[in-house]
Every structure is written in C-alpha cells, then in structure tokens.
Amino acid sequence: MSAVRLVLLGRQGAGKGTQAVKLSEHYGAPHISTGDMLRSAVEEGTEFGRQAGEIMDRGDLVPDDVMVGVVTERLAKDDAVASGYLLDGFPRTVAQAEALAAMPNGDALQAVVNIDVPLDEVRTRMQLRARADDTPEAIDRRLALYEAQTEPLIRFYEERDMLLVVDGLGTVDEIFARLVEAIDRIRPVL
Ligand code: AMP
C-alpha cells in the first residue's frame, strides 16, 4: 500500500484530533500535530518550550520560520519518509503552506482534507463543553481567529486542486468512513 501524505484541516470542535488518530492507525502513517509537539516542548521545560509556551498562552502563533524548521526536521525522520504523514495544525499560514511545498517530503503532499462542520454547529459544541470562563465572546473570538487564519489556506489549496472537503456532521465512524473513501479515491494506485 502506498503511503499517505496529507494535511488535515478543521475548525476546533470538528473532531479533527479524533479522526487524525484513527486515520494514523488505518494508514500506518504518523500523526504529526504541531500543537502536541509544542506542548511536549513546554513540558520538557527547554528554552524553546518556554518561549513557545509564552506565545501559546497569549493565543498568538509561533513564528513561521520556527515552525517551518520544526516540521522540516520532523518530515525528514525515517517513519515519515517511509510511511508518510498526517499533518495536523500545520500549515497555519500561507507562508507555511509555501514552505511545506518546498520541503523534502513536504513537496510530495497528496491532498489537504477539510473536515467541514458549519460554524453554528461548532459554536454550539464548544459552548456545551466550555468551562465557566469560556464566554460566548471568547468562543467567537477563537472561531474568528481560525477563520482568518484558515480561509486563505483553503483558497491556496483549492487553487492548486488539492482540497478535499468531507462532511464533518455525523458519528465518529460515519465521518471516518467518509474520510477513508475520499482519501482512497485520490491516492495513486500502485
Ligand atoms: P493546536 O493544538 O494546533 O491548536 O496548537 C496550539 C497552539 O500552538 C496554537 O494556538 C499556536 O500558538 C501554536 N501552534 C501550533 N501549530 C502552529 C503553527 N503551525 N504555526 C504557528 N503556531 C502554531
């Protein structure tokens, strides 16, 4: 079976993390979450982790050149070279998408999968699981930030004919089945 090399996109609350883990098992490709990598660095207490932690606490993005360095190294590791990857959380900006297209292994990206859940639906889901300090205003701010960051990326990949949109409404298993169907349709047949 040929390796999958994909980027996953989806609003917070779209179930992207859950699906990424299932897809990683199904295709045998590592799930590479830049958010998880940064959180590990924070826990390890390295100087890099300390700086990243401050940026994350502010709700800002870690600078593009730093993230590009992190992902370039990760995609060069044996498992990603041999088995492909499911990128989650990267790219987040058009500059990162351009850098990915020029990276060894990143240049072999096959498709970008957008798990699509309507804004009203994710807003409701986030409100249901929100903590007391998670006001509707804070939720709206986070969703607006995602929209501002991700809309240009969606256009970037649409223009390159690389975007797959999968309906993210339904049960975990229904959405997973749709994802596998959409991915298998575009994978090069060996
Ligand atoms: P996530 O778990 O993907 O929501 O990421 C958590 C935080 O890590 C984000 O709010 C950013 O501060 C930072 N982060 C993760 N991925 C990236 C990226 N590709 N570019 C910049 N910052 C990132």
Q: What is the pLDDT of residues 129-180, one digit of tens each?
A: 777 777 888 888 888 888 898 889 999 999 999 999 999 999 999 999 999 9
Residue bearing the CA closest to ligand 1, atom 1:
35
The sign of the CA dihedral 142, 159, 181, 106 is: negative
- DSSP structural state of residue 137: H
Atom of ligand 1 nearest to the CA of 60: 12
Decide if 111 contacts 183 (C-beta within 8 A): yes
Q: Measured in angstroms, how far is the CA atom of residue 62 from the centroid of ligand 1? A: 7
Residue 114: closest CA among 17, 11, 40: 11
Say whether pLDDT at 1 is over 70: no
**Ligand 1 pocket list (CB less than 6 A):** 34-35, 38, 55-56, 60-62, 67, 89-90, 92, 96
pTM of the model: 0.92
Quick: pLDDT tens for 40-99: 999 999 999 999 999 988 888 999 999 999 999 999 999 999 999 999 999 999 999 999
Q: Measured in angstroms, how far is the CA atom of residue 61 from the centroid of ligand 1? A: 6
Span 7-12, average pLDDT: 91
Atom of ligand 1 nearest to the CA of 12: 4
Q: Measured in angstroms, how far is the CA atom of residue 189 from the centroid of ligand 1? A: 34
CA 21 to chain centre: 12
Decide if 10 contacts 168 (C-beta within 8 A): yes
Compute φ and ψ for 57, nearest 5 degrees. -65, -35
Q: Which CATH superfamily is domain 4-189 in?
A: P-loop containing nucleotide triphosphate hydrolases (3.40.50.300)
Q: Estimate the share of the chain in helix, then strand, then coil, as percent rounded to the nearest 5.
A: 60, 15, 25
Residue bearing the CA closest to ligand 1, atom 19:
90
CA triple 41-145-177, angle to 5 deg:
75
Say whether pLDDT at 190 is over 80: no
Atom of ligand 1 nearest to the CA of 91: 19
Peptide bond into 118 cis (omega under 30): no
Q: Compute the distance between CA of residue 180 and CA of residue 54 in angstroms, rounded to an integer.
A: 37
The total number of residues written for the chain in this structure = 190
Atom of ligand 1 nearest to the CA of 92: 19
Q: Measured in angstroms, how far is the CA atom of residue 158 from the centroid of ligand 1? A: 22
Q: Which residue has the tokens 């903590």?
A: 131
Q: Compute the distance between CA of residue 174 and CA of residue 170 in angstroms, rounded to an integer.
A: 6
| Helix residue ranges, H only, 6-135 | 16-27, 34-44, 47-58, 64-75, 78-83, 94-102, 119-129
Write down the domain spans for the chain. Answer: 4-189
Q: Compute the distance between CA of residue 5 and CA of residue 82 in angstroms, rounded to an integer.
A: 11
Which of 1-5, 15-19, 184-188 is most confident? 15-19
